[in-house]
Chains A and B, each alone.
Chain A
Amino acid sequence: MVDLAASATGDLQLRNIRKEFGDFVAVDDLNLTIPKGSFFALLGPSGCGKTTTLRMIAGLEEPTSGTIAVGDTDITYSKPYRRPVNTVFQNYALFPHLTIFENVAFGLRRRGIKDVKEAVEKVLALVELGHLKDRKPGQLSGGQQQRIAVARAIVNRPALLLLDEPLGALDLKLRRQMQIELKWIQTEVGITFVHVTHDQEEAMTMADTIAVMNKGRIEQMGSPVDLYENPETVFVANFLGQSNLIKATVGTNSGAETSVDVQGARIILPTSRNRSAKSSVLVGIRPEKINIHAAGTSTGKNALHDGVVTDISFVGVSTQYQVEMPWKQELMVFEQNDGGAANIRKGDRVTLSWEPNFTFALDSED
């Protein structure tokens, strides 16, 4: 048992994983390879199956069908304590009756390691909490408990570290700080981190690769930039950041470029960014990619005219405009407050324009 826990290394592979709870399918035919040493995020709304997936990897749930392997070692039905996997639990689950030192030493002691002092003190130094080793968890702040939970897991040098919404209980400022710290720890120890979260910003800040989950399936997987710039589904386009999605009809396809008709306006996009094979699509554009001008003074290739500004909110780094189009759809526009902003007021008629390269087209959900 100790041998397995210590020796299995390699990529984590989930093959055709399915998990049912009664009639409810929590995870549906999931296939996933998580490369060794990566920081991987499973991102999705609550109830999407991400925590269930994590619990199956940890061994706290058994899949209804499919296999889980680390490298060549099948761990699908192994007991949790026989897996090369450790978990940082939501709300940390530190043992309240043990000191910080004993909490961190817990896994090592269970594996029969006699001299734990050096390893424990080293990992406590890594999370910069060596001075608290004689305290009890109840005497620590949330951020400190969080770091101890990480230390308690990584001290065992697992092949895989699972983090279940690890920053959910922290306030915003601390969460930002911990995001950077976790990323640094991961680079330092080189263990594969699998991070489950519903917070897209958290996933994007930390992870190399993100898998966006919805209704028990993976919608799209890729780097944060890739997911943000090239969403393949409406769900991803809306879950990561904001998107303006407008109904359109596909027109001519000239090879590299495709043109679509949006309420009479001709909008161009790279053919490679059209994810739909249908003639009726949703054309997408991120709010910060759009330029807003007084009516008639468009500069970009793609332009929509005759919008009316219905709301303006100033948020410091940017100003957010809400623009009602003639077909009664509200579009969002973010302009950087870099001094070059047009002097636009509520009620003004405006033209929206953007570069064709930023445009994408998706299958409409219905």
Chain B
Amino acid sequence: MAIAHVSPGTSTHVQPERSGRKVPYLLMLPGLLWLAIFFIYPLINLAETSTKTRATTQETGAFVQTYRFANYIDAFIEYQDQFLRSFMYAFLATVLALAISYPLAYAIAFKSGRYKNILLILVVAPFFTSFLLRTIAWKQILGAEGPVVYVLRTLHLIGPDTTITASSFAVVMGLTYNFLPFMTLPIYASLDRIDPRLLEASGDLYSNGLTTFRKVTMPLSMPGVVAGTLLTFIPAAGDYINAAILGNPTTKMIGNVIDSRFFRIVDYPTAASLSFTLMAAILFLVVVYIRRSGTDELV
């Protein structure tokens, strides 16, 4: 009450409150600085590069700023197949990862008892090895001498000469596998937060197990599903490791194109404009998705 009578800035009484207001900004400062140096600045740099054209000197890597926005259109037209394929693969991987992760997260959250922590550690255990190594390991797993092909051949599901590496199937498998923990953990977190009394209340109000799942558990786990699908879809759409290791020339994703434009062909403007187009497309899809799922209202 006393503070209400003091006009701000005229009394020493206000001082402690003022310095208190600075605390959040001070806490954010390291993060903001980091972002400014390692994200904002490169981003501006990239934007600048995207409208450059090759210098007349023919020297590799020499570009001049000509504000040629047509770079975007040219790049998109040339690589629209790879764009489409990236989103297709990322979508498939997201759906598969969701199908695998939801039951897994559900089991960990509700049925694992005292093994809960061990199972959670197992979910994140793959992070102890490098992403690259794990993807190379999948090449072995899916390889002609590997267990998957052996089983499929024994069951006569594939012919004796069919292989499954270097295919879009292998790329989607790799993507699904690599982003599984990103799907599982948020779903687990939202399931684990559900008050068991809500499930009891649902049973008390004439729901059987399946109805309780449909009407209570699933809606309440939606924030986790949305977070998980985003954490899978976004990096999967921009990924190039899986396509490079497990794919073939016809399974190239947009990440592979950007990679080769930057580092092999040294065509910085095309690579930069593709990067921006990818970012914009993902941002657009994400916004539409979040709007449609309506999870901002939840809890």
Write the residues of chain A forming the contact surface with B, with a CB cutoff of 8 angstroms: 1-2, 5, 58-60, 79-81, 85-87, 89-91, 93-97, 106-107, 110-111, 138, 152-153, 156
Contact (Cβ within 8 A) A81 B206: yes
Contact (Cβ within 8 A) B201 A96: no
Contact (Cβ within 8 A) A86 B204: yes
Quote the shortest CB–CB distance from B224 to chain A (angstroms).
13
Answer whether A89 and B299 are a contact pair too, CB < 8 Å, given A5-B206, A96-B220, A97-B220. Answer: no
Quote the shortest CB–CB distance from A158 to chain B (angstroms).
9
Q: Which residue of A lies closest to B212 (CB)?
A: A81
Task: Please list the 8 inter-chain residue pairs (A to B) with the smallest Cβ-Cβ separation, ordered nearest first.
Answer: A107-B205, A110-B206, A93-B201, A93-B197, A80-B203, A81-B206, A97-B219, A87-B204
* Cα separation A150 to B160 with both chains bound (whole Å): 67
Let me know if B195 is at the binding interface, CB within 8 A. Answer: yes
Let me know if B277 is at the binding interface, CB within 8 A. Answer: no
* Cα separation A110 to B207 with both chains bound (whole Å): 6
Contact (Cβ within 8 A) A86 B200: no
Q: Which residue of A lies closest to B204 (CB)?
A: A87
Contact (Cβ within 8 A) A156 B205: yes
Q: Which of A80, A97, A110 contacts B200 (CB 8 A)?
A: A80
* Cα separation A177 to B204 with both chains bound (whole Å): 27
Contact (Cβ within 8 A) A85 B211: no
List residues of chain B with CB within 8 A of the CB of A91.
Answer: 195, 197
List residues of chain A with CB within 8 A of the CB of B200.
Answer: 58, 60, 80, 87, 89, 93
Cross-chain pair count, CB within 8 angstroms: 70
* Cα separation A138 to B208 with both chains bound (whole Å): 26
Contact (Cβ within 8 A) B205 A110: yes
* Cα separation A107 to B203 with both chains bound (whole Å): 9
- Contact mask B186-222 → A, CB, 8 Å, 1/0? 0000000001011011111111100100011001100
Q: Which of A1, A5, A87, A156 contacts B201 (CB 8 A)?
A: A87
Q: Which of A5, A60, A79, A87 contacts B208 (CB 8 A)?
A: A79
**15 pairs of residues in contact across A and B, judged by CB atoms under 8 Å:** A58-B200, A81-B203, A81-B204, A81-B208, A87-B204, A89-B201, A93-B198, A93-B200, A94-B201, A96-B198, A96-B298, A96-B299, A97-B298, A153-B205, A156-B206
* Cα separation A86 to B195 with both chains bound (whole Å): 18
* Cα separation A273 to B74 with both chains bound (whole Å): 102
- Most interface-central of A59, A91, A97, A107 (chain B CB within 10 A): A97
Quote the shortest CB–CB distance from A110 to chain B (angstroms).
4
Seed contacts A60-B204, A86-B204, A110-B211; 11 additional CB < 8 Å A-B pairs: A5-B206, A58-B200, A58-B204, A59-B203, A79-B208, A80-B204, A85-B204, A93-B201, A96-B298, A106-B205, A107-B206
Answer whether A93 and B208 are a contact pair too, CB < 8 Å, given A80-B203, A87-B201. Answer: no
* Cα separation A353 to B227 with both chains bound (whole Å): 73
List residues of chain B with CB within 8 A of the CB of A81.
Answer: 203-208
* Cα separation A133 to B246 with both chains bound (whole Å): 55
Quote the shortest CB–CB distance from A16 to chain B (angstroms).
25
Q: Which of B201, B202, B299 contacts A138 (CB 8 A)?
A: B299
List residues of chain B with CB within 8 A of the CB of A58.
Answer: 200, 204
List residues of chain A with CB within 8 A of the CB of B203.
Answer: 59-60, 79-81
Quote the shortest CB–CB distance from B157 to chain A (angstroms).
41
Quote the shortest CB–CB distance from B220 to chain A (angstroms).
6
Contact (Cβ within 8 A) B205 A152: yes
Contact (Cβ within 8 A) B219 A93: no
Contact (Cβ within 8 A) A95 B201: yes
List residues of chain B with CB within 8 A of the CB of A152.
Answer: 205
* Cα separation A5 to B205 with both chains bound (whole Å): 10
* Cα separation A48 to B98 with both chains bound (whole Å): 45
* Cα separation A87 to B204 with both chains bound (whole Å): 7
Q: Which chain B residues numbered 82 to 107 have a C-beta less than 8 Å away from chain A?
A: none
List residues of chain B with CB within 8 A of the CB of A93.
Answer: 195, 197-198, 200-201
Quote the shortest CB–CB distance from A68 to chain B (angstroms).
15
Contact (Cβ within 8 A) B207 A95: no
Contact (Cβ within 8 A) A95 B216: yes
* Cα separation A5 to B203 with both chains bound (whole Å): 13
Q: Which residue of A lies closest to B207 (CB)?
A: A110
List residues of chain A with CB within 8 A of the CB of B202.
Answer: 95, 106
Quote the shortest CB–CB distance from A4 to chain B (angstroms).
11
List residues of chain A with CB within 8 A of the CB of B220.
Answer: 96-97
* Cα separation A96 to B207 with both chains bound (whole Å): 17
List residues of chain A with CB within 8 A of the CB of B195.
Answer: 91, 93
Quote the shortest CB–CB distance from A3 to chain B (angstroms).
12
List residues of chain B with CB within 8 A of the CB of A94.
Answer: 201
* Cα separation A107 to B298 with both chains bound (whole Å): 22
List residues of chain A with CB within 8 A of the CB of B216.
Answer: 95, 97
Quote the shortest CB–CB distance from A233 to chain B (angstroms).
33
* Cα separation A60 to B206 with both chains bound (whole Å): 13
* Cα separation A221 to B208 with both chains bound (whole Å): 36
Quote the shortest CB–CB distance from B188 to chain A (angstroms).
19
List residues of chain A with CB within 8 A of the CB of B205.
Answer: 81, 86, 106-107, 110, 152-153, 156
List residues of chain B with CB within 8 A of the CB of A79.
Answer: 203, 208
Quote the shortest CB–CB distance from B225 to chain A (angstroms).
13
* Cα separation A91 to B203 with both chains bound (whole Å): 17
* Cα separation A138 to B220 with both chains bound (whole Å): 14
List residues of chain B with CB within 8 A of the CB of A156.
Answer: 205-206
